[in-house]
Structure 1
Amino acid sequence: MSGRYKAYGEYKDSGVEWLGEIPKSWKAKRLAAFFEERREKVSDKDYSPLSVTMKGIVPQLENAAKTEAGDNRKLVLKNDFVINSRSDRKGSSGVSSLVGSVSLISIVMVPTRIYPYFAHHLLRSYSFQEEFYRYGKGIVADLWSTNSSEMKNILIPEVPMREQEAIAAFLDHETAKIDTLIDKQQQLIELLKEKRQAVISHAVTKGLDPDVPMKDSGVEWLGEVPDHWVISQIKYLSSFVGTGGTPKNPESFTDLDGIDWFSPGDFNSSLILQDANKKISKLSIRNGDAKIYPKNSIVVIGIGATLGKVALTENFFSCNQQINIIVPNEKINFKYLAYSLSNQVEQMQQASNASTIGIMNQEKTKKIWIVFPKKHEQFEIVKFISKKTTEFDLLLDWSEKQIQFLKERRTALISAAVTGKIDVRDWQVPVTQTESDEVMA
């Protein structure tokens, strides 16, 4: 950490790799010396179900996986520490402020000789989490579980109670400041995204001339559009509209130099779609097991949570059946069409068969309404949007980097405090301060 915080006067080697050097007055002891395991089984009918998340212990999330084991859960009382034992849930843990029940895959520990809120920060620290999951066992290379007996053997620092309380108070205050700054950056990101989309929306439905005569489009969501613009459906602006597919032969996929085979998981915040997670061989194209589509096509996700998400392809490609492909004809600029479609996510979601699961098939895609000017004006609009979105993207990138910096600082601060690398015994809540300046210093 920076020179803002002082160190303890003397240190010693803890003999524990994840702890490193600790203050001379501290000791390293087995976790079992400070906690007792709670194994009591209860029903979620008697004790409300809780979720163990990266943000701590909360009432069960709506999207949490539900099981039939409602009568076979673990009891959690206030101040119990709960951690998910599975490696794919790394970081999901915390001291509970609630009474309830959790899945049997969680370990529930009762603080007995340790201050609960110090334990909350200590056992959620990055270093401890790495140590905890290092003891895990499993038959799958990227998924394993750590059991409670292994957890109890992990060495943690024995810290005088007053110091524990001081460290907890310090971290509660400082991490709250950092979390506030992260929230503000996330709010700024959402605002920038909204403004970026508003710029695109206005450009592809109203144009760049504020004084141009307008007319009623006849399409409710479009409203008035420039008088000289054309209103048409996708089927009249494309040479092909179709849906991708999955090769029947597994050998069609290749790890070698192949052709991108896109799925919804390959879509991101960029308008340009590239570098698919899977590739298909050129042989699979030649023998008809896979289809190839031209560059400068527009691809639209036609099913699922990201239905309506739009991207452009710069190279020849293939894709799965969850994606609709639009190959523009000579009437419309491919980038203009992509920007226009990116403005219609809500309309596509409404047009999908939402009674069960939303599906935007190729027939529905063909009926999407687009409004556009002549080619030279389309080009000017594309040029304008590209410039503006680049400006927004730079601001978004800066905000994302600030969030990453703040998260890293938060992680480092917690680790430094709970392992004694900084001395906060005399710390007090500042009376006045510029919090953002302090955190960013």
Structure 2
Amino acid sequence: MTNYLAYPDYSPDGFPTSWDQKRLRFALMMNPSKTEIDLEDSDLVSFVPMDAVGEYGGIRLSEEKELSEIGSGYTYFCDGDVVVAKITPCFENGKGALAKGLKNKTAFGTTELHVMRAAPKQLEPKFLFYLTISDLFRKIGESEMYGAGGQKRVPESFIKNFRAGLPSIKEQQTIARFLDFKTAQIDALIAKKKALLDKLAEKRTALINHAVTKGLDPSVTMEDSGETWLGEIPAHWQRMLMVRVISKFEQGWSPSCDEREASLDEWGVLKSGCVNYGVFQEQEHKTLPPNIDPIPSLEVKAGDILMCRASGSKHLIGSVAMVRKCRSKLIFSDKTYRITLQASIIDSEFFVLLMKSKYLRDQIELSISGADGLANNIPQSSVKGYQIVLPSSVGEQKEISTFLKKKCERIETQEVKILEAIGRFQEYRAALITNSVTGKIDVRGFEIQQPTEGITS
């Protein structure tokens, strides 16, 4: 943020002295009443389940219902309101948005949303939205969540009591315009990187799918598998359920943690994102507070196989990665499985590749479950019930694994570099938002220019 100026003076609380400081309860209304709706029962309104709420902005508005079809248990909001997911892991993942473009300016959605309506002349709705996705708001909110496991929620009292620095409405609008422009630039760059990831994933999936269902010998005798989605397989291969190759299934542990990355002498708890896109990333973890004793039996070691069990993003569920190397004192979370295999039946490298094939991904997507507002997940029973085909010889599996490893190494190297770049962009975006809405940088003199290839930092 070195290219941005600071404000001339700051209060002891860290806000610019020209900004007011107040608890949000005095600048907004929480969860407005449905009694204000002025529509006929036959009028259409937007219907918003949790998976339609974007991470760090945006609402998918593809579903509509007549007002008479909406039950009493749904959350009401309208154009201009700001919604924030209240339940784990949706809150931590940044789910929230400024509502706009709703059918008849009205929506009903998941009960796992807090609704905020900015008070006129005190809060600009877009500024409020950016405040709610700032690291400051999310990290403090995470520390105040109550409940256990997948049922932890952010209380309404946290939002009401959150102390914010509020500049004038005009200045809030300036900050919001600045963030609209800058985040759009960053998001465009992230989208390009993700498109590259998708292309690499398609290339790898096609390569893997052919090798793990047809083998490497084009002259081998083939037979009909009996499944239209699988087609022909080598005649000497076996069909079986996944349970046959698994000797041990373990689910991790998710205590309350500090968001920061752990030092080497501290214990950390891996996030489910540590296996995103099938590449193990040890930096994706939180710090276990010193007052909580670790569970050493859950420490991750080189050679472990981890699977993403639950995530707010369905396409990441079922991602599997082999831990090639790992620092000590890292524990896997309850959103992750550790899988131990029957070495006499299946090669571990072959298993990891198998889980990246199209026919396994299709089964994974069909088995994802989870009620609205809760993390999408895969039960152990579903994983054990997946249908797989294997070369009867572990030696042949190893040959296929070796072949694919050489072919995929370059792809994985590219993926790691792209993921690192995306991480840097996301960190910069988060820092820009937080520093802007807390007054750490002064953007009042910012002038919107034509987009360029790079990002001003």
- Shared topology, TM-score over 0.5? yes
1:100 matched residue in structure 2: 107
Residue 313 of structure 1: how far off its partner (Å) = 11
Instruction: State the distance in 2 between where 1:310 and 1:405 align.
Output: 23
2:407 matched residue in structure 1: 388
User: Looking at CA atoms only, which structure, 1 or 2, has the larger radius of gyration?
Assistant: 1
Percent identical pairs in the alignment equals 27
Which residue of 101, 114, 135 maps to 1:126?
A: 135
Which residue of 156, 164, 174 maps to 1:147?
A: 156
Q: Is the 8 A contact 2:83 2:116 kept in 1?
A: yes
Distance 1:269 1:164, change over 3 A: closer
1:233 matched residue in structure 2: 238
Aligned residue pair count: 366
Residue 11 of structure 1: how far off its partner (Å) = 1.2
1:416 is aligned to 2:435: yes
Q: Is the 8 A contact 1:298 1:327 kept in 2?
A: no
Distance 1:389 1:101, change over 3 A: same
Q: Is the 8 A contact 1:81 1:108 kept in 2?
A: yes
Instruction: State the distance in 2 between where 1:403 and 1:342 align.
Output: 24
Which residue of 10, 22, 25 maps to 1:12?
A: 10
Distance 1:172 1:201, change over 3 A: same
Structure 2: gaps spanning 5 or more residues: 64-68, 251-271, 281-294, 309-313, 325-337, 370-378
For normalisation by structure 1, the TM-score amounts to: 0.62
1:425 matched residue in structure 2: 444
Residue 69 of structure 1: how far off its partner (Å) = 8.7
Instruction: State the distance in 2 between where 1:379 and 1:199 align.
Output: 16
| Alignment RMSD (CA, Å) | 5.3
Instruction: State the distance in 2 between where 1:359 and 1:279 align.
Output: 25
Q: Is the 8 A contact 2:80 2:117 kept in 1?
A: no
1:399 is aligned to 2:407: no
1:184 is aligned to 2:184: no
Q: Residues 282-321 of structure 1 correspond to what in structure 2 (within 5 A)?
A: none
Distance 1:410 1:48, change over 3 A: same
Give SS of 2:10's match.
strand
Q: Residues 260-299 of structure 1 correspond to what in structure 2 (within 5 A)?
A: none
Q: Is the 8 A contact 1:56 1:93 kept in 2?
A: yes
Instruction: State the distance in 2 between where 1:163 and 1:203 align.
Output: 59
2:260 matched residue in structure 1: none
Distance 1:60 1:405, change over 3 A: same
Give SS of 2:202's match.
helix
Letter in 2 for 1:421: K
Q: Is the 8 A contact 2:80 2:99 kept in 1?
A: yes
1:167 is aligned to 2:175: yes
Letter in 2 for 1:28: Q
Letter in 2 for 1:384: F
For normalisation by structure 2, the TM-score amounts to: 0.60
Letter in 1 for 2:131: L
1:196 matched residue in structure 2: 204
Distance 1:204 1:92, change over 3 A: closer
1:334 is aligned to 2:354: no
Q: Is the 8 A contact 1:298 1:338 kept in 2?
A: no
Residue 118 of structure 1: how far off its partner (Å) = 1.9
Q: Is the 8 A contact 1:6 1:422 kept in 2?
A: yes
Q: Is the 8 A contact 2:354 2:360 kept in 1?
A: no
Q: Is the 8 A contact 2:209 2:359 kept in 1?
A: no
Letter in 1 for 2:173: E
Q: Is the 8 A contact 1:175 1:410 kept in 2?
A: yes
Q: Is the 8 A contact 1:300 1:325 kept in 2?
A: no
Residue 172 of structure 1: how far off its partner (Å) = 0.3
Give SS of 1:49's match.
strand
Structure 1: gaps spanning 5 or more residues: 63-67, 248-263, 281-295, 315-321
